[in-house]
Amino acid sequence: MAVSRIKRFLRQGRKKEFTWRYVYNFGPTVKHRLSGQRLQGELSRIVQELDQNGIALTSVADIFGSAALFDEMSRAVDAIENERSAELQALRSDATNADSIGRKTFMAELLGAYPVLDPTDIFGRIALHPNVIHIANAYFGMFTRLRHYNVWHTFCSPSKARESQLWHHDREDFFILKMFIYLNDVREGGGPFTYAPGTHQKGPLKGREPEYFIEGGVRRTTDEQMSAVVPQNLWVKATGCRGTIVFADTRGYHKGGECRTADRLMYTCMFTSKSSESQEWMRQPAHIGSNSDAEIAFALSGPRR
């Protein structure tokens, strides 16, 4: 009984920012403050918008300085798509299977369900780019861990919205920062990432829960239910051309991937605190090597599958 009370107390502590930061993540917070990192220009703007709204849009050119990394990633994705073309066609035929709640049959993970973390391949280098790490750490106010990266191919489908196509918010940490890079043009019918600004933990609407229903054991919210908390005209619908980057704290309410007129091809990566309760979505490589950059070394640290 005493053990269960202690566990309950500790779990509740994670929900309070002071405890989460200065008990569970004291070391990473101190490391960040001692680093003296101060963002300027576009990076500063992005963090300010994240603080205020929970979402910020930018571009490959503004984050990476040129299109070289993006072009390399696009070629790598094209190669995977060509290699797996028959498999992807078979998966596409199952995209309308609404009886498969929990499997997201409307989407294929091109790097597999649990990619091997590789800091040297193009997908790892995108996530570990210094500007991306700087944004994540500045937003959290601490050194963060890279928890996940993958490429999602979402199939065009007439099916009723389900799973992550409905409003929801992630719960594995106090802040959860994800970066999405569009690998094709994403217009109105192409499943744009959509966000309810201010519903993140830093926002004025934090804690305001819309009505919801349970789908496969997960809370989901319809557009009508969401609009009662955040009017639809305030939603950020992140349409954009190829090379658009979206940063979002997914502790705030969001949805995406409701592709009606075109497929969506998108790279994603996720950063959390060291103490996050997120499951490990990446496998440990046989040898990861060392990194002289303290922020990147911390991002790569911790247990993997």
What DSSP element (H or E) covers 90? helix 85-92
> What would the pLDDT profile of 254-304 be if each residue is shown by its tens digit?
999 999 999 999 999 999 999 999 999 999 988 887 788 999 999 999 989
Give the pLDDT band of residue 5 (cuts 50, 70, 90): low
pLDDT of residue 236: 98
pLDDT of residue 102: 75
Three-state DSSP state, 120: coil
Phi and psi dihedrals of 265, rounded to 5? -120, 120
- The partner residues of 272 in beta bridges, in order of sequence, read 145
Cα(246)–Cα(178) distance, rounded to whole angstroms?
A: 8
pLDDT of residue 9: 62
Give the CB-side neighbour count of residue 223, counting CA atoms within 13 A: 12
Q: What is the mean pLDDT of the chain?
A: 94
Of the two residues 284 and 252, the one the predictor is more confident about is 252
Helix axes 26-35, 130-140, angle to 10 degrees: 120
Query: Average of pLDDT values for 158-176?
Result: 95
Given a cut of 60, whether residue 6 has pLDDT beyond it is: no
Q: Is the pTM of this model over 0.85?
A: yes
- β-bridge pairing 218-220 and 213-215: antiparallel
- The partner residues of 164 in beta bridges, in order of sequence, read none
pLDDT of residue 136: 98
Phi and psi dihedrals of 299, rounded to 5? -60, -30
How much of the chain, in percent, has pLDDT values that exceed 90? 85
What DSSP element (H or E) covers 219? strand 218-220
Closest CA to 105 of 181, 157, 170: 157
pLDDT of residue 288: 82
User: DSSP class of residue 156?
Assistant: P
Given a cut of 80, whether residue 8 has pLDDT beyond it is: no
Three-state DSSP state, 284: coil
CB atoms within 10 A of CB 161: 17
Query: Average of pLDDT values for 100-105?
Result: 81
Question: Which has the minimum average pLDDT: 20-24, 27-31, 282-286, 289-293?
Answer: 289-293
251's tokens: 């502790």
> What would the pLDDT profile of 33-63 be if each residue is shown by its tens digit?
999 989 999 999 999 999 999 999 999 999 9
- The partner residues of 215 in beta bridges, in order of sequence, read 218
> What would the pLDDT profile of 237-249 be if each residue is shown by its tens digit?
999 999 999 999 9
pLDDT of residue 68: 97
Give the pLDDT band of residue 170 (cuts 50, 70, 90): very high
User: DSSP class of residue 104?
Assistant: -
Cα(91)–Cα(108) distance, rounded to whole angstroms?
A: 7
pLDDT of residue 1: 55
How much of the chain, in percent, has pLDDT values that exceed 70? 96
pLDDT of residue 133: 98
CATH number of 41-300: 2.60.120.620
Does residue 223 contact residue 232 with C-beta atoms inside 8 Å?
yes
Three-state DSSP state, 161: coil
pLDDT of residue 94: 85
